[in-house]
Amino acid sequence: MTPALPKPTSTLPDTRIYERRESTVRSYARAMPRQFARAEGVWMHDNRGGRYLDFLSGCSTLNYGHNHPVLKQALLDYIAADGIAHGLDLHTDAKADFLETLEALILKPRGLDYRAMFTGPTGTNAVEAAIKLARKVTGRELVIAFTNGFHGMTLGALACTGNASKRAGAGVPLSHVAHEPYDGYHGPDVDTAELLERRLADPSSGLDAPAAILVEIVQGEGGLNAASPEWLRRIAEIARRHGALLIVDDIQAGCGRTGDFFSFEGMGFTPDIVTLAKSLSGMGLPFALTLFRPELDQWSPGEHNGTFRGNNHAFVTATAALRHFWSDGAFRKDIARRGALLERRLAAIAAEQDLSTRGRGMMRGIDVGSGEVAATVTAACFARGLIIETSGAHDEIVKVLAPLVIDDAVLSAGLDILEESIRVALAASYGVAAE
Ligand SMILES: *Cc1c(COP(=O)(O)O)cnc(C)c1O
């Protein structure tokens, strides 16, 4: 059976209201100038009847696709019954359901004993809470983050982020963070865990004793660099030995993106603190969570707060998502199969064009050499109805973040578009170089 294909519209919408009234800070809309009206599953529809295949998924916020029918129905039922929409941090049926489901389906089966802290609703809030707690518990100031790390836009999380143009927006010094080389940063022959160990063990290295080591298992915005399990085990051991807390930022790589619910599963270590957001609500509703070992729960009531801690609508959809996708191993198997398909196809494209691939699971991309070529690739994809974005220090990685629920045939069809677009973009760039 031939899968449904994208059907982009070629005419530009009227964007005068955005130019007149929306801040110039908008970004994605510039590369994809359409007006979107509705979405379901892996498809987004513009207001002129165009249909686009979504290989961006809200930067991994829509792992279960747009408006999944089970999640949508749970939310519709809850709203119809006048369920609590906003309740500060009061006990609600929706919150109890979520915590019980998280405990039964995610924590217990994995032998994880975490307390859940509901922070403000975006990922950066979860990161702020994590580093604040680590500093409070250890009485230390320094956080060790890594090159190409991305952790959010508020000052504390921004200080942990590597990207210079994002950092420049702070307007004040970003301090109390050391950026150490991530796995592979100095090439395959330099063990950067060993470098870190040596600096921490050397009383004269200038590196203060850290409160925390903050790491992404696969760097989402930083170029889909996937740290090896051995390196990560070493980092966990270094954190333990030096009295620092290990924080895994699982905001983009978690919720199934790299194969299991958490990206660190099966790697032989347990983080002290874990941050989740993006796909946690399952339906694109804002919802962030900081998980930590019970002994670390040294907050006094209200010490860290926020008006929108615990979004009850998101509790409802998150609970439905946990029940629907994570109560047995079927979804994990689907992700593994699709991830292998994605790996195979990207490897073939890379081999043909002499490029290299990055990533793990359903979080993979292709290094096309430069941000200019990558922008040409994504523009060519969009013209063919495929929504796809870039990542990396120079935006040189074309990243595939298809919904995890994507049909294998539709995934292949989207990768056909990517393959053709890469061929066209590279031919154009060689043409320019030859002139
Ligand atoms: C997106 C992201 C964040 C920030 O989340 P926001 O919801 O944008 O504040 C933090 N860490 C990682 C790894 C992310 O991908």
CATH code where residue 245 lies: 3.40.640.10
Query: Is the pLDDT confidence value at 435 over 50?
Result: no
Q: What is the mean pLDDT of residues 240-255?
A: 98
Instruction: Tell me the whole-structure pTM to 2 decimals.
Output: 0.97
User: Does 370 reside within a domain?
Assistant: yes
Are 60 and 113 in the same domain?
no
Query: Is the pLDDT confidence value at 183 over 70?
Result: yes
386-387 and 51-54 beta bridge pairing? parallel
Quick: pLDDT tens for 73-120. Answer: 999 999 999 999 999 999 999 999 999 999 999 999 999 999 999 999
Are 250 and 292 in the same domain?
yes
Q: Which residues pair with 214 in a beta bridge?
A: 247
Are 142 and 275 in the same domain?
yes
Lowest mean pLDDT among 1-10, 245-254, 335-344, 368-377: 1-10
User: Does 8 reside within a domain?
Assistant: no
Percentage of the chain with pLDDT > 70?
Answer: 99
Tell me which of 119, 150, 274, 401 to substitute to probe ligand 1's pocket, judged by most ligand atoms within 8 Å of the beta carbon. 150
Q: What is the mean pLDDT of residues 417-424?
A: 98
CATH of the domain at 424: 3.90.1150.10
Q: Ligand 1 centre from 205 Cα, in Å?
A: 31
Domain range for 417:
16-67+330-430
Quick: pLDDT tens for 192-222. Answer: 999 999 999 999 999 999 999 999 999 999 9
Which of the four pLDDT bands, split at 50, 70 and 90, describes residue 433? low
Q: Ligand 1 centre from 261 Cα, in Å?
A: 17
Quick: pLDDT tens for 126-176. Answer: 999 999 999 999 999 999 999 999 999 999 999 999 999 999 999 999 999
Q: Ligand 1 centre from 116 Cα, in Å?
A: 18
Query: Is the pLDDT confidence value at 423 over 90?
Result: yes
| Structural domain total, the chain | 2
Q: Which atom of ligand 1 is nearest to the CA of 250?
A: 13
Are 181 and 114 in the same domain?
yes
363-367 and 356-360 beta bridge pairing? antiparallel
**DSSP string over 323-343:** HHHHSSSHHHHHHHHHHHHHH
Separation between Cα atoms, residue 372 and residue 79, nearest integer Å: 46
User: Does 6 reside within a domain?
Assistant: no
Are 59 and 144 in the same domain?
no
Which of the four pLDDT bands, split at 50, 70 and 90, describes residue 432? low
Q: Ligand 1 centre from 275 Cα, in Å?
A: 9
Are 205 and 349 in the same domain?
no
Are 179 and 206 in the same domain?
yes
Are 62 and 124 in the same domain?
no
Number of CB atoms found within 10 A of residue 16's CB: 8
What is the CB < 6 Å shell around ligand 1?
Answer: 59, 122-124, 127, 150-152, 216, 220-221, 249, 251-252, 277-278
Are 145 and 125 in the same domain?
yes
Q: What is the mean pLDDT of residues 276-297?
A: 98
User: Does 251 reside within a domain?
Assistant: yes
Please tell me the residue having the least CA distance from ligand 1 atom 15. Answer: 252
Tell me which of 151, 155, 158, 258 to substitute to probe ligand 1's pocket, judged by most ligand atoms within 8 Å of the beta carbon. 151
> Each residue of 195-228: b (16+ CB within 10 Å) or e?
ebbeebeeeeeebeebbbbbbbbbbbbbbbbbbe
User: Does 78 reside within a domain?
Assistant: yes
pLDDT value at residue 430: 81
Answer with the one of 325, 347, 382 that is the final residue of a domain. 325
Answer with the one of 303, 325, 347 that is the final residue of a domain. 325
Are 181 and 287 in the same domain?
yes
Query: Is the pLDDT confidence value at 428 over 70?
Result: yes
Q: What is the mean pLDDT of residues 38-62?
A: 97
Helix (H) or strand (E) holding 364: strand 363-367
Q: Which atom of ligand 1 is nearest to the CA of 249?
A: 13
User: Does 10 reside within a domain?
Assistant: no
User: Does 101 reside within a domain?
Assistant: yes
Answer with the one of 305, 325, 345 that is the final residue of a domain. 325
Q: Ligand 1 centre from 124 Cα, in Å?
A: 6
User: Does 435 reside within a domain?
Assistant: no
Are 124 and 233 in the same domain?
yes
Q: Ligand 1 centre from 123 Cα, in Å?
A: 5
Are 313 and 334 in the same domain?
no
Q: Ligand 1 centre from 56 Cα, in Å?
A: 14
